[in-house]
Amino acid sequence: MSLEALANKYGTPLYVYSADQILDRLGMFHEALEGRDHLVCYAVKANSSLAILKLLAEHGAGFDIVSGGELDRVLAAAPEAAGRVVFSGVGKTADEIDHALNVGILEFNVESEAELDLLSARAAKLKRKTRFALRVNPDVFAETHPYISTGLREHKFGIDIKRAAELYKRVKGNKWLEAHGISVHIGSQIRSADPFGAALGRVHKLVRQLRREGIELRSIDAGGGLGIDYHGGNSDPAARVRDYAVAINAALDGFEGRLLLEPGRFLVAQAGALVTRVLNVKQNGRKTFVITDAAMNDLIRPALYQAHHEIVPVMPRAGRARAVDIVGPVCESGDFFARDRKLAPVETGDLLALLDAGAYGMSQASNYNTRLRPAEVLVEGKRARLIKRRETIADLLATEIP
């Protein structure tokens, strides 16, 4: 599929995704976990495009959501998948809980004692028995960026694993609450299988302790967080999933219930590129700036997490690569995609592709500087189709009252 043809047809900046790669990645989990009862609940926040949700739902995936809005997205894309939704997040409102109770999701991942009380009250009010899991905080350190590490006691997420047993026991007789499972999510972009094994080892120990005390949990949710290689190394993604599965299986040896997984990034990141056009090349003293029509509002990862994305010319020109800063037009010095990056020669009008932009790209895009968010295209086999049109200024102003 020619990115140049897509950019000419749909304009830039443009997100382009490969459906085939997303399905390949989903298949890797199924292959690595063969023989274990499992459900992959795709983390919607990584890329919440309806077409991608629909694609994954059609191939049996469930969903991990963190807001009522994400539930509405799942219902819009694949209403039949409502029973495969797990609802995570530290601050669910009563309205969001009611909505999820009414559609009958698989499980609430409860993150505090207060939330468990709220869930119980809402379930009683609506007369709907509900399944819950406690999201425990296993106090495991995952080597990743501090903004996306979540498994230490100092983080806002989850319930201290030492207090979880007491909470399960407290609601044991509650006729509206069914203790269905236990969940854990220690962070994102984790590159080693060890922290996952460590966290699940602690979770499984608690599950065995609860069983001895008469509380039988039917599912263990291992969360998401499996990382990818943003530096374009020739890492083998299938091997990474196998290592991950080996660590999980070792920790859960003897557990007969169902395993839930919540991968986000791993399924979609490398299936997507952000295609952008060079607006101009500017020389400031000894520094060269390549200014693109995409900016931090379209892809905030470099500014927010000091993240690295490989950037390549779509149609390379001959000549020596030199160090440049690749920046957007937004009025912030933080609006850069790369600094002192070796790039082959580019000229005004050339196309660049920011690679591995399928996760936390469009889903974190904003309208800062009153910029219209990009269009999105999904490539399926030899066909490409628009899955989100570019915003118009009318879309943007529609909600405002001058």
Ligand X SMILES: *Cc1c(COP(=O)(O)O)cnc(C)c1O
Is 16 near ligand X (CB under 6 A)? no
Selected from 111, 139, 262, 356, the binder of ligand X by CB under 6 A is 262
Is 104 annotated as contributing to ligand binding?
no
Rounded CA separation 92/305 (Å): 26
Rounded CA separation 225/227 (Å): 6
Is 265 annotated as contributing to ligand binding?
yes
Q: How far is CA 369 from the centre of its chain?
A: 25
Is 64 near ligand X (CB under 6 A)? yes
Query: Is 393 exposed, middle or buried (CB count within 10 Å of its CB: 0-12, 13-18, 19+)?
Result: exposed
Rounded CA separation 28/346 (Å): 37
Least spacing, CB of residue 361 vs ligand X, in Å: 12
Rounded CA separation 133/387 (Å): 34
In terms of CB distance, is 92 or 341 closer to ligand X?
92
- 41 labelled catalytic: no
In terms of CB distance, is 10 or 266 closer to ligand X?
266
Residues 6+ apart with CB under 8 A from 241: 28, 29, 31, 32, 226, 266
Residues 6+ apart with CB under 8 A from 343: 290, 311, 313, 321, 322, 323, 324, 326
Identify whether the C-beta of residue 85 lies closer than 8 Å to the C-beta of residue 105.
yes
In terms of CB distance, is 85 or 359 closer to ligand X?
359
Is 361 near ligand X (CB under 6 A)? no
Is 219 near ligand X (CB under 6 A)? no
Least spacing, CB of residue 2 vs ligand X, in Å: 29
In terms of CB distance, is 84 or 265 closer to ligand X?
265
Is 107 near ligand X (CB under 6 A)? no
Which residue is catalytic, options 114, 318, 331, 393?
Answer: 331
Residue numbers 156-215 binding ligand X by CB under 6 A: 185, 188-189
Report the SS3 class of residue 146: helix
In terms of CB distance, is 64 or 243 closer to ligand X?
64
Is 111 near ligand X (CB under 6 A)? no
Is 43 near ligand X (CB under 6 A)? yes
Is 332 annotated as contributing to ligand binding?
yes
Rounded CA separation 14/11 (Å): 7
Rounded CA separation 275/354 (Å): 6
Strand partners, 109: 133
Task: Please choose, out of 41-49, 284-292, 299-307, 344-352, the segment that lies near ligand X by the rule CB under 6 A.
Answer: 41-49
Is 45 near ligand X (CB under 6 A)? yes
Alpha-carbon distances of 374 from 11, 296, 361, rounded to whole Å: 9, 12, 10
Alpha-carbon distances of 193 from 25, 29, 249, 287, 359, rounded to whole Å: 17, 14, 11, 41, 20
Rounded CA separation 139/162 (Å): 10
Selected from 62, 224, 361, 374, the binder of ligand X by CB under 6 A is 224
Is 224 annotated as contributing to ligand binding?
no
Rounded CA separation 305/301 (Å): 5
In terms of CB distance, is 44 or 351 closer to ligand X?
44
Is 46 near ligand X (CB under 6 A)? yes
User: Could you list the residues that contact ligand X (CB under 6 A)?
Assistant: 43, 45-46, 64, 66, 88, 185, 188-189, 223-226, 262-266, 359
Q: Could you list the residues known to form a binding site for substrate, using ranges.
A: 265, 301, 305, 332, 360
The catalytic site residues sit at: 331
Q: Could you list the residues known to form a binding site for pyridoxal 5'-phosphate, using ranges.
A: 225, 262-265, 360
Q: Could you list the residues known to form a binding site, using ranges.
A: 225, 262-265, 301, 305, 332, 360
